[in-house]
Chains A and B, each alone.
Chain A
Amino acid sequence: MFSYVFMQNAYLASTIIAIICGIVGVFVIARNMSFLTHTLSEIGFAGAAFGLFAGWSALGGMLLFTTVSSVLVGQLSAKTSRRESSISAISALFIGLGILFISLSNKNASYATNILFGSVIGIDAAAVHQLIWLSVAVLAVIFVMYRFLTFDSFDPVGASVHGLWTNVISIVFLVILAFSVSVAAQVVGSLLIFILLTLPASAAKYFSHSVVGMMTIAVFLALIGVWGGLYLGYVTNWPVSFFIAAIEAGFYFCALLIERFKK
């Protein structure tokens, strides 16, 4: 299987993505942003469609749309309840826009399918390099901001009392999230991004009580998901995204069951 260049590329890309998603996912869970992540993936769909329509790359359009909108949405309202409904409205708008751009760009339906459901098998070396650079940038920002991000994510009250610039931290995190969403979409597609960004981290919090511990477990679970998914996809010819989704959902429910039994 590894003698095929496209499989090498697919494994490399999904490994990087699993690492990013595991690490960023821990912050997503701590900040209660699963819902926003889901919306960002829909906005990413519109962005990718716009990228095709405008003649850029899908990734470029995604980065633009998710970054701008994550910062806007994050600033929209501090009140969670109101934020949830405004997010729903925004995601509806963006899905509509995505459909519009796809049809305007005169591309056939398979493009839409690729954006929505992922096309990791088709990823080429140039795209892998792009992913590597983006991922290194995301990891570098997290490394430098680590103490601020963990404080603000795991104890927002304490962080604001401490006089930390929680607004700045939150915008930085939203940009990190937008980049991660755009990167992850390359493997699992924009519909299933939250599988890698939220499920491994949600499961991890039942097994570790430290930030680094949760990150390690989340990365591990994400890696098993993407590696297993690629392998099973290769063997059966079924969609890779299906296997990744099934594996990650399986992990999550196992974690819940184990937690039940411990109680």
Chain B
Amino acid sequence: MTEPIIALDHLTVSFPGHPVFSDLNLTVNRGDFLSILGPNGVGKTTLMRTILHQLKPTSGRVVYYPSRREVTVGYVPQFRNIDPEYPLSIRNFIELNFPGFRLPWLSRNERLTTNAIIQQTGLTQIEHRPLGEASGGEKQKAYLAQALVEKPDLLILDESTASLDPVTKTELLDLVKRLNETSGLTVLFVTHDIPMARRYSNRYLMMSKGGTESGRIQDLSDQQVWRSDHV
């Protein structure tokens, strides 16, 4: 089953006076777990923000199937400013992600979904602590939980696991992988961790100054990894 969810169509993005990437073409299918690799500053975050329609491409476009409105996207950004005095508890922060013209209080279903996600992401012990006081890794878990609570079709992780300890990292990626396998969640996984990319994804997109390459993850050679860092 290869049903596309997004396509990058001759996508070019440049900031005033300096191009980031140009003429990027790629189709991501439903159920793909795509690792986005490449050195610092190559444009991985920029690409994610373009996919999210937060940045306008210089030329080309990002197409969603069947349409942007019909694809629910969860995004765990690389950086997020949370004031140390941010008042909401982790649970209340996660529950923000149920927007709509509905009653202010959550429905039974919404509460059950939140409970399940909190449990799966291992936040049960600290769900009532204010998010501002959580550690870096705990914050990352909360962001992931918030993104997952609306049952996204597409999940974008921008180095979201970089500040996690090895055990937690594996636990969370196992959870994402499980959702990927059982409910067909499509994952865009930006990472510098090649072993993790090999372990969890089925495809890769390697970005480098010289251009981008993509393919099946088992075809990613160490040479390519080395080259992309040194071009």
Question: Which residues of the partner chain B approach A158 to less than 8 Å between Cβ atoms?
Answer: 96-97, 146
Cβ-closest chain A residue relative to B130 = A209
Question: Which residues of the partner chain A approach B80 to less than 8 Å between Cβ atoms?
Answer: 157
Contact check: which of A144, A157, A211 meets B77 at CB < 8 Å? A157
User: Cβ of A161 and Cβ of B73 under 8 Å apart?
Assistant: yes
Among the stretches B11-19, B34-42, B83-91, the one at the interface with A is B83-91
**Which residues of B (95-146) have their CB < 8 Å from a CB of A?**
96-104, 128-130, 146
User: Cβ of B75 and Cβ of A148 under 8 Å apart?
Assistant: no
Q: Secondary structure of the A side of the interface?
A: helix
Residue A150 at the chain B interface, CB threshold 8 Å: yes
User: Cβ of B87 and Cβ of A150 under 8 Å apart?
Assistant: no
Contact check: which of B69, B77, B88, B103 meets A163 at CB < 8 Å? B69
Complex Cα distance, B97 from A46, in Å, reads 40
User: Cβ of A155 and Cβ of B93 under 8 Å apart?
Assistant: yes
Interface centre among B52, B75, B87 (most CB of A within 10 A): B87
Residue B68 at the chain A interface, CB threshold 8 Å: yes
Nearest-CB distance from B161 to chain A (Å)? 18
User: Cβ of A154 and Cβ of B104 under 8 Å apart?
Assistant: no
A154-B93 contact in complex given A143-B104, A147-B100, C-beta closer than 8 Å: yes
Interface centre among A147, A160, A164, A214 (most CB of B within 10 A): A147
Mark interface residues in A131-151 (1 if CB within 8 Å of B CB, else 0): 000000000000111111011
Q: Secondary structure of the B side of the interface?
A: loop
Q: How many A-B residue pairs have CB under 8 A?
A: 65
Nearest-CB distance from B121 to chain A (Å)? 16
User: Cβ of A162 and Cβ of B89 under 8 Å apart?
Assistant: no
Complex Cα distance, B101 from A158, in Å, reads 17
User: Cβ of B99 and Cβ of A208 under 8 Å apart?
Assistant: no
Cβ-closest chain B residue relative to A162 = B99
Residue A205 at the chain B interface, CB threshold 8 Å: yes
A164-B99 contact in complex given A146-B104, A147-B104, A155-B93, C-beta closer than 8 Å: yes
Question: Which residues of the partner chain B approach A209 to less than 8 Å between Cβ atoms?
Answer: 87-89, 92, 128-130
Residue A108 at the chain B interface, CB threshold 8 Å: no
B interface residues, how many (CB within 8 angstroms) = 30
User: Cβ of A205 and Cβ of B87 under 8 Å apart?
Assistant: yes
User: Cβ of B87 and Cβ of A155 under 8 Å apart?
Assistant: no
Residue B54 at the chain A interface, CB threshold 8 Å: yes
User: Cβ of A150 and Cβ of B89 under 8 Å apart?
Assistant: no
Cβ-closest chain A residue relative to B71 = A163
Complex Cα distance, B130 from A205, in Å, reads 10
Complex Cα distance, B74 from A205, in Å, reads 28
Cβ-closest chain A residue relative to B49 = A161
Question: Which residues of the partner chain B approach A206 to less than 8 Å between Cβ atoms?
Answer: 87
Nearest-CB distance from A22 to chain B (Å)? 15
Contact check: which of B87, B128, B129 meets A214 at CB < 8 Å? B87
Cβ-closest chain A residue relative to B77 = A157
User: Cβ of B88 and Cβ of A211 under 8 Å apart?
Assistant: yes
Cβ-closest chain A residue relative to B103 = A146
Nearest-CB distance from A27 to chain B (Å)? 12
Interface centre among A155, A164, A205, A206 (most CB of B within 10 A): A155
User: Cβ of A212 and Cβ of B104 under 8 Å apart?
Assistant: yes
Q: Contacts A147-B99, A155-B97, A163-B73 known; list 17 others, CB within 8 Å.
A: A143-B104, A147-B100, A147-B102, A155-B96, A157-B77, A157-B80, A158-B97, A161-B54, A161-B73, A161-B75, A163-B69, A206-B87, A209-B87, A209-B89, A209-B129, A212-B104, A214-B87
A–B Cβ pairs within 8 angstroms, 15 of them = A144-B101, A145-B101, A146-B103, A147-B101, A147-B102, A151-B99, A155-B96, A157-B80, A160-B54, A161-B73, A162-B97, A164-B99, A205-B85, A206-B87, A210-B92
